[in-house]
Chains A and B, each alone.
Chain A
Amino acid sequence: MKLLRVGAAVALAAVVSASVLTGCSSSGGSSGSGGVVDLSFWNGLTGPDKPAVDHLISQFNKTHPKIHVTSDPIPWDVLYAKLLPAFGAHKGPDLIGISSDNLPEYASKHVVQPLDSFFSNGVAKSTIVSSALNAGTYQGQVYGVPIESTPVLLYYNKKMFQTAGITSAPTTWSEWAADAKKLTIPGGTDGNPKQYGMAIGTNNTIELFPILMWMANGGILSPDGKQVLLNSAGSKRAATYWANLIHNDHIAPASLSGADADKLISSGKAAMEVNGPWATTGYKQAGIDYGLAPIPTGPNGQHISVGSTTVLAVSSAANSDKMKAAATFYAYWTQQNSQVQFSLTSGFPPVTNNVPASELAKNPDIAAFAKQAGTTRPLAPGQTTFASIENDIYDPTIEKIIANPSQAGSLLDQAATQVKSTIASGG
């Protein structure tokens, strides 16, 4: 009796912990019927860009009776959690839309196949924005073609700027820091400022800190992805400078997720944020009168932004018919009309350079993002362990530095060692 009861309690406990690791299956296999090539397409495009994606796909299906694309938008974290197990169980989709940062992991495992044949099947390589095309390249081959690609820019609350007597957006770090301090107004609850100069997401977001490090000639990795730059003098300088502003001058709350940072902007609690075009919809709805400017330049004086690119990749299991159909789909996606329409409905700049400026001028926000498209860099080029580097090392380190700016040097040294061993053991 007693033993059985112990057993039952233990079994119960075990179910909960062990079953967490199992519940991963999926539907999504597909096969052609009646000469129609079915393409299942899993993606994380669930934001304000979803209507634009849906519209483009339905237009494509209408005009291409021999191909049928079925889009399955899944929140990013769930998508990444289920993709590999789904492919492992041979139930993966034909097409995936994932962040270019995560692509190397899939390419290195041969989950997805090279797409060079796309360019002899109706896709004009030269029309695609080159930084976006590079983002989907792994070991010299294109594994992912960009379906969305954008830099991030500085959003600023015009009303708060006016109230503070600031007439234009900052263009350098020193102006930026001065403005941020000026826009930080004490007198909120619990000794916190009533208004923050900035909102800076340091986890679960497209982060600002790597950009700041690039601006000081540092970064996470060198552009070829071969050298760890986290412990470089530039990285340390940038981290210390901004961590001090947050920790000592309280220009922004510490340890915000991207969503929390956005909330502060929407609720009029913070004046500036670096963010992508997906934020425009929410801020407009919240009645925020914002302006957009390039991210102010740092010690090296260069305009730099991070490229947030979603690439289309094709499963290794897809046969040549599906590959051809996928190429046709992507050719449609990148043709001028589609790009104009997609851009204007989603708010993202076009992934091709064949869209005339007059079309983009209809939406000044898009024009602003498109203008900076040439300044982007990929976050961790060619890294197959990007998720681990970001979640387990980079984000916690930055948050620790913000809580303890004087330790920036040693914390970044430690982080660099960790990144090196992660790269060495992974991939």
Chain B
Amino acid sequence: MTRTVDHAQDMTTQAVPVARRRPRHSLRRRQALRAYAFIAPSAAIMGVFVLWPLISSARLSFYQSSEFGPSTFVGLGNYRELFADPVFRGDVWRTLIYAVIVTPVTIGLALMFAVMLNRRLHGRTFFRAAIFLPAVLSLGVMAIAWDYLLNPDIGLLPQWLAPLGISFGAGQADPTTAFIYVMIVGIWKNVGFYMVMYLAGLATIPNDLYEAASIDGAGKFRQFRSITWPLLANTSAFVFIMATIASVQAFDQIYSMTRGGPYFSTETLAYLLYRKGFLDLDFGYASAVAWILTIIVFVVSIVQQVFFSRREVRY
């Protein structure tokens, strides 16, 4: 979208001498109209499917509504109730912990795999595909498989790993273990996608930089620290923002594996939204949760945006 607008402005400057006779603003206006026409289809789609739901959910968050019959205006009632609810406060806390752990671990692993698989290696395609595969599978479905695999009583993994002294304890029944499980599955799902992003980023780094570095006597680690990592800054910015948003909205594997339990110990804000909206049919309350979640994502995204824009690289 930005590009279309920029382009239209470029054309204006070039076109001015040709259209000297006509009043300048008429041409500009026509071009502006054309630009708007180009934007219109996307704007209409965004308006109907993004803006309108956003506005109506904002409105809904001030009502008590079951989406049937008249809704009652409750002002900030839903928000007040929300902040007084210890489960909600726990969910905010868990959502943040999830994001703070899952985001860097996912990105770290993605970068590691990308660097490893960027070299010539036997079975490189196989490994790339194997790591990328989860990204295209349905997380809801795969989480059901994970739930089976990790089940302490009938699961394969505890059975196989027990002889190695790796204990799964009570598995999903243990609040801490259950939370670790949903985090592991969340990481497993996304590593492949970000790895591909990093592989694309790595491909843009000119090889002569590495040659020059190695002539200067820089080792592999030094090369990574001084060339690879700084030149991947743009990719990292994108990946960090996407990964953070994905983490804050964790839902699928929680729904499939634990339903937020035991006793809310794996519940995140996205699951609370589902539980309040679609199980309790309290859509006003759920909309309030959705807005808190949106605001959290908004703030985190802006902070990240400011942070990364200072580190943008051009080469």
Q: Which residue numbers of A lie inside 8 Å of B, CB to CB?
A: 1-2, 4-6, 9-22, 24, 77, 80-81, 84-85, 87-88, 105, 109-111, 188-192, 196, 203-204, 253-257, 260, 263-264, 267, 269, 385, 387-388, 391-392, 395-397, 399-400, 403
Q: Considering the complex, which residues of chain B in the window 264-297 have a beta carbon less than 8 Å from any beta carbon of chain A?
A: 264, 270, 273-275, 277-283, 286-287, 290, 293-294, 297
Q: Say which one of B117-125, B187-195, B301-309 lies at the interface with A.
A: B301-309
Known: A4-B2, A9-B305, A11-B50. A87 touches B297 (CB 8 A): no
Contact size class for B? 35 or more
Known: A17-B297, A255-B262. A109 touches B68 (CB 8 A): yes
CB <8 Å contact, A87 and B68: yes
Partner of B290, one of A20, A256, A403: A20
Known: A18-B57, A84-B66, A263-B154. A190 touches B162 (CB 8 A): yes
CB <8 Å contact, A88 and B68: yes
Partner of B309, one of A2, A11, A189: A2
The answer to whether the Cβ of B28 comes within 8 Å of any Cβ in the partner chain is no
CB <8 Å contact, B261 and A6: no
In the assembled complex, 24 residue pairs joining A and B whose CB atoms fall closer than 8 Å, in A order, are A2-B309, A4-B2, A6-B301, A6-B302, A12-B245, A13-B249, A13-B294, A13-B297, A14-B54, A17-B249, A17-B290, A24-B67, A88-B68, A88-B69, A109-B68, A190-B162, A253-B152, A253-B170, A253-B173, A387-B279, A395-B261, A396-B261, A396-B264, A403-B175
CB <8 Å contact, A109 and B167: no
Residues of B within 8 A of A6 (CB): 301-302, 305
CB <8 Å contact, B301 and A190: no
User: A425: shortest Cβ distance to chain B, in Å?
Assistant: 9
User: B297: shortest Cβ distance to chain A, in Å?
Assistant: 4
Question: Apart from A267-B154, A388-B282, what are 4 other A-B pairs with CB-CB below 8 Å?
Answer: A13-B248, A13-B301, A17-B273, A20-B274
Known: A81-B278, A87-B68. A20 touches B172 (CB 8 A): no
Known: A109-B66, A189-B168. A392 touches B275 (CB 8 A): yes
Known: A9-B245, A87-B68. A388 touches B280 (CB 8 A): yes
Known: A5-B305, A21-B60, A255-B261. A16 touches B167 (CB 8 A): no
Residues of A within 8 A of B141 (CB): none
Task: Give per-residue flags for B136-178: 1 if the beta carbon is below 8 A from chain A beta carbons, else 0.
Answer: 0000000000000001111000110010000111111101000
Residues of A within 8 A of B1 (CB): 4
The CA of A391 and the CA of B261, in the complex, are separated in Å by: 10
CB <8 Å contact, B305 and A264: no
CB <8 Å contact, A387 and B281: yes
Known: A22-B57, A391-B280. A191 touches B169 (CB 8 A): yes
Known: A255-B173, A396-B261, A396-B263. A191 touches B278 (CB 8 A): no
CB <8 Å contact, B275 and A16: no
The CA of A195 and the CA of B303, in the complex, are separated in Å by: 52
The answer to whether the Cβ of B259 comes within 8 Å of any Cβ in the partner chain is yes
Residues of B within 8 A of A5 (CB): 305
CB <8 Å contact, A21 and B305: no
Known: A16-B249, A81-B278, A254-B173. A264 touches B152 (CB 8 A): no
Residues of B within 8 A of A1 (CB): 2
Known: A11-B50, A77-B279, A189-B168. A21 touches B57 (CB 8 A): yes
CB <8 Å contact, A85 and B68: yes
Known: A13-B297, A263-B154. A189 touches B170 (CB 8 A): no
Counting chain A CB atoms within 10 Å of each CB, which of B46, B68, B172 scores highest?
A: B68
The CA of A263 and the CA of B46, in the complex, are separated in Å by: 45
Residues of B within 8 A of A16 (CB): 245, 249
User: B6: shortest Cβ distance to chain A, in Å?
Assistant: 9
The answer to whether the Cβ of B75 comes within 8 Å of any Cβ in the partner chain is no
CB <8 Å contact, B293 and A17: yes
Residues of A within 8 A of B50 (CB): 11, 14-15, 18-19
The answer to whether the Cβ of B224 comes within 8 Å of any Cβ in the partner chain is no
Q: Considering the complex, which residues of chain B in the window 192-230 have a beta carbon less than 8 Å from any beta carbon of chain A?
A: none
Residues of B within 8 A of A21 (CB): 53, 57, 60, 273, 277, 283, 286-287, 290
The CA of A203 and the CA of B66, in the complex, are separated in Å by: 24
Residues of A within 8 A of B171 (CB): 190
User: From A1, which residue of chain B is reached at the shortest CB distance?
Assistant: B2
Known: A14-B50, A77-B279, A399-B263. A84 touches B172 (CB 8 A): no
CB <8 Å contact, B49 and A84: no
CB <8 Å contact, A84 and B290: no
Residues of B within 8 A of A87 (CB): 68
CB <8 Å contact, B273 and A192: no
For the complex of A and B, 4 pairs with smallest distance between CB atoms = A13-B297, A255-B262, A81-B278, A396-B263
The CA of A400 and the CA of B264, in the complex, are separated in Å by: 10
The answer to whether the Cβ of B241 comes within 8 Å of any Cβ in the partner chain is yes
Residues of B within 8 A of A399 (CB): 261-263
CB <8 Å contact, A190 and B152: yes
Partner of A18, one of B53, B151, B281: B53
Partner of A189, one of B162, B248, B273: B162
User: From B278, which residue of chain A is reached at the shortest CB distance?
Assistant: A81
The CA of A6 and the CA of B66, in the complex, are separated in Å by: 33
CB <8 Å contact, A13 and B262: no
The answer to whether the Cβ of B298 comes within 8 Å of any Cβ in the partner chain is yes
User: B63: shortest Cβ distance to chain A, in Å?
Assistant: 13
Partner of A203, one of B175, B259, B281: B259
